[in-house]
A = this chain, B = another copy of it.
Amino acid sequence: MFNSFGNILRVTTYGESHGVAIGGVIDGCPAGMQVDFKAIQNELDRRKPGQSKIVTQRKEPDTVEFLSGIFEGKTTGASIGFVIKNTNQKSKDYNHNTNVYRPSHADYTYDKKYGIRDHRGGGRTSARETANWVVAGALAKQLIKHININAFTSSVGDIFINKPYQDLDFTKTEGNMVRCPDNASAGKMIEKINQIRKAGDTIGGTITCVAQNMPIGLGEPIFNKLHAELGKAMLSINAVKGFEFGSGFCGAKMQGSEHNDIFNEDGTTQSNLSGGIQGGISNGMDVYFRVAFKPVATIMQNQQTINSEGDLTEIMGKGRHDPCVVPRAVPVVEALTALVLADFWLLNKTRKI
């Protein structure tokens, strides 16, 4: 149960960053859907390392191969197996880690929980796992293509886009390295990341995601609220520390008389502080939320740490350096959003006589 996500549409994954391959099984995809393989590979390419000078320079082609469940270009209703081979498994880069717990990494917790640790680059904890999610999410996007899902980098460090998302042109997101649709902010963000990179340091940021053209009725009201599933999904991404939707933490400072979204005659609302969700169910307005990423833990600086014997020692990141993971997490956020929405969309077919 621990490596699966979703109810009707469920993805189950496996794979370590330095094993033979990663991959998964997508279960519950309805039969008869024409699969756009190019679109799936395109999403993977958005996520892969080495895309620009501000992200990790590690090279991995990340080519997905589908093994089942698709016949003559269409889904058959059978489970869809897929695999992404690891072509860049320089385990040697990590030999210095064998016995050392990297600060704010999962080395220590894995070792204590399982009594064994795959020390090669994080093993199962590696963000490489998110490539699996992108594959599944790209397929889910095709299932709900009437919904437009757009994520983008909304802040890096203390540089924020100071505009509501309604003023942004999402077609510009892919136009710069940092995946920020506001060009002025994008420039500052890139500059900031470059400084950080040169210092061998890392920096955090936030991603905002907007789902437009939403159907009414997605989400189940008690423990599978639409925003609760979105939150769980986002909190599954490596380095995420927070999730808010609609008015979010700002809403906690407000009064009901200013926070309530007044209805128009057609059922839309004048404001949308609810973030398109009431009682856990989509109301047809835009669903939007924000995800906080901490700076990644691997820095190119010397840090004090301990080894498995409890001796103090020092560690310094080696190999490729990823100063800001936020831009590469943008397609991951979209993928998980698509998975959540597609799952609820399927489920919703069973909720009314």
Q: Is A62 an interface residue (CB 8 A)?
A: no
CB <8 Å contact, A251 and B124: no
The distance in angstroms between the C-alpha atoms of A284 and B113, with both chains bound, is 11
CB <8 Å contact, A255 and B21: no
Q: Which residues on the B side are within 8 Å of A1 (C-beta)?
A: 7-8, 10, 27-28, 224
Q: Is A106 an interface residue (CB 8 A)?
A: yes
Q: Contacts A71-B116, A125-B221, A260-B297 hold; do A201 and B255 have CB atoms under 8 A apart?
A: yes
Nearest CB in chain B to that of A14: its residue? B81
Nearest CB in chain B to that of A350: its residue? B346
The distance in angstroms between the C-alpha atoms of A244 and B155, with both chains bound, is 17
CB <8 Å contact, A305 and B12: no
Q: Is A337 an interface residue (CB 8 A)?
A: no
Q: Contacts A106-B279, A236-B228 hold; do A310 and B351 have CB atoms under 8 A apart?
A: no
CB <8 Å contact, A77 and B33: no
Q: Contacts A14-B25, A236-B225 hold; do A220 and B2 have CB atoms under 8 A apart?
A: yes
Nearest CB in chain B to that of A30: its residue? B353
CB <8 Å contact, A27 and B8: no
CB <8 Å contact, B12 and A67: no
Copies in the assembly, this chain: 4
The distance in angstroms between the C-alpha atoms of A246 and B263, with both chains bound, is 37
Other-chain contact of A204, B68, B116, B259 (Cβ < 8 Å): B259
| Min CB–CB distance A196 → chain B (angstroms) | 7
Other-chain contact of A115, B31, B110, B228, B311 (Cβ < 8 Å): B31
Q: Which residues on the B side are within 8 Å of A201 (C-beta)?
A: 255-257
Nearest CB in chain B to that of A228: its residue? B235
23 A-B pairs (CB sep. < 8 Å): A3-B78, A13-B79, A21-B81, A76-B116, A78-B123, A103-B262, A104-B261, A104-B274, A109-B282, A110-B279, A112-B284, A113-B217, A113-B351, A124-B221, A231-B231, A241-B252, A242-B251, A255-B295, A259-B297, A264-B306, A265-B306, A266-B310, A349-B350
Interface residues of A (CB under 8 A from B): 1-5, 7-8, 10, 12-16, 19-25, 27-28, 30-33, 65, 67-69, 71, 74-81, 83, 101, 103-106, 108-110, 112-118, 123-125, 129, 155, 157-158, 196, 201-206, 216-217, 220-225, 227-229, 231-233, 235-236, 241-249, 251-257, 259-267, 269, 273-275, 277-284, 292-299, 301, 303-306, 310-312, 346-353
